[in-house]
């Protein structure tokens, strides 16, 4: 369940990652000052078990797909 304080874009990212990766912990924050060009994402999921960090990040990038292409960047922290 997405926290109430997320804006519309943050909630969309949160929902997409939740549906695809079933995380036990997930935080999404717009760190671009509200313009939606850079996000910080922290995600913990069992789906990352046994995967190196680069493959964990690739999984997140695949889920976010086209959205990432329009951003300046993403600050990503992943844990299994």
| Burial of residue 67 (number of CB atoms within 10 Å: 0-12, 13-18, 19+) | middle
pTM of the predicted protein model: 0.92
Contact present, 48 and 57 (Cβ < 8 Å)? no
* Separation CA 80–CA 73 (nearest Å): 23
The pLDDT tens digits of the residues spanning 48-78 come to: 999 999 999 999 999 999 889 999 999 999 9
In the chain, % of residues over pLDDT 90: 89
Whole-number Å distance between alpha carbons of 39 and 27: 10
């Amino acid at each position: 369940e997405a926290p109430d304080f997320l804006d519309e874009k943050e909630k969309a990212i949160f929902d997409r990652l939740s549906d695809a990766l079933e995380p036990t912990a997930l935080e999404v924050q717009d760190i671009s000052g509200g313009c939606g060009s850079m996000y910080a994402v922290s995600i913990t999921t069992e789906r990352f078990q046994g995967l190196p960090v680069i493959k964990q990040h690739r999984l997140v990038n695949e889920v976010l797909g086209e959205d990432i292409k329009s951003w300046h960047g993403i600050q990503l922290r992943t844990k299994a």
